């Protein structure tokens, strides 16, 4: 009696396709989860960028409005008052607030962009983060401090007033400019570090976010490397 031969090739084919199906299903599911996660992260970054731009705009327009109103108001008092000391104070005050308004116009926090998409949102967030960082730098404190000292000296020496009047003028202007600096939003810098800085020194990553060029000299040659 002859035994039926076992069709090994057919059995192997069934096993092969079964294994392939079992392996492909988790991979497809993983790819779907990855795509969903990436889309969710992209949407989260976009929302953060929109919020950061809104907050920066509120701060910028608020201080521009304060400086503009103060300039107009002090100028009007200076022209209408008969008190010499008051006219001097208002004239000098209108000049300093005019400089404040001009500073807001010259250094806007937010660039005008018609749309925010996945291709430019990292660059927009980086630009805003760098502007926020620059707005609280020692250079800004030094510049406003120099203007405030000059205003105090004009009050004291230029208007031939008391030293106490000069100090009062300096302290008042310093309080205003420091309030402007320290109320400036910094959320964009934190968001950029959160989403795009993967190293431990995230706080310093903003300085390395743009393209960097390195020149290496070694025995027998020179190499130029560009890192993005």
| One pLDDT digit (tens) per residue for the chain, 228 residues | 545 554 545 544 544 444 444 444 544 444 444 556 667 778 888 888 889 989 999 999 999 999 999 999 999 999 999 999 999 999 999 999 999 999 999 888 776 555 556 557 888 888 899 999 999 999 999 999 999 999 999 999 999 999 999 999 999 999 999 999 999 999 998 899 888 875 434 444 454 444 444 444 434 444 444 443
Does a structural domain hold residue 30? Answer: no
Cross-strand partners of 166: none
Does a structural domain hold residue 147? Answer: no
Does a structural domain hold residue 171? Answer: no
DSSP 45-98: HHHHHHHHHHHHHHHHHHHHHHHHHHHHHHHHHHHH---HHHHHHHHHHHHHHH
E strand or H helix that includes residue 214: strand 212-218
The domain of 131 spans 40-136+184-196+208-227
* pTM of structure: 0.68
Helix (H, G, I), strand (E, B) or coil at 1: coil
Does a structural domain hold residue 33? Answer: no
Does a structural domain hold residue 103? Answer: yes
E strand or H helix that includes residue 29: helix 8-80
pLDDT of residue 222: 42
pLDDT of residue 107: 84
Helix (H, G, I), strand (E, B) or coil at 224: strand
pLDDT of residue 206: 53
Does a structural domain hold residue 148? Answer: no
Length in residues, the chain: 228
Tokens of 174: 């310093």
pLDDT of residue 98: 96
Q: How far is CA 78 from CA 74, 90, 105, 166, in A?
A: 6, 5, 24, 19
Are 165 and 156 within 8 A, CB to CB? yes
Does a structural domain hold residue 170? Answer: no
Total structural domains in the chain?
Answer: 1
Does a structural domain hold residue 73? Answer: yes
pLDDT of residue 225: 45
Q: How far is CA 16 from CA 12, 24, 84, in A?
A: 6, 12, 99
pLDDT of residue 195: 86
pLDDT of residue 212: 43
């Amino acid at each position: 009696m002859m035994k039926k031969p076992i069709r090994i090739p057919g059995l192997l084919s069934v096993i092969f396709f079964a294994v392939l199906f079992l392996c492909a299903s988790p991979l497809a599911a993983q790819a779907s989860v990855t795509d969903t996660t990436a889309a969710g992260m992209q949407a989260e970054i976009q929302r953060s960028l929109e919020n950061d731009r809104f907050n920066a705009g509120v701060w910028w327009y608020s201080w521009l409005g304060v400086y503009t109103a103060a300039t107009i108001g002090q100028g009007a008092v200076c022209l209408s008052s008969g008190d010499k000391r008051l006219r001097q104070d208002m004239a000098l005050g209108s000049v300093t607030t005019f400089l404040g308004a001009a500073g807001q116009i010259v250094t806007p926090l937010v660039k005008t962009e018609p749309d925010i998409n996945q291709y430019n949102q990292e660059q927009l967030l980086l630009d805003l983060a760098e502007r926020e960082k620059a707005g609280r730098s020692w250079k800004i404190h030094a510049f406003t401090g120099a203007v405030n000292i000059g205003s105090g000296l004009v009050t004291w020496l230029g208007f031939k007033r008391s030293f106490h009047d000069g100090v009062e003028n300096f302290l008042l202007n310093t309080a205003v400019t420091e309030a402007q600096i320290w109320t400036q939003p910094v959320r964009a810098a934190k968001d950029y570090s959160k989403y795009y800085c993967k190293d431990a020194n995230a706080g310093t990553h903003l300085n390395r976010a743009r393209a960097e060029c390195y020149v290496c000299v070694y025995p027998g040659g020179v190499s130029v490397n560009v890192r993005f």
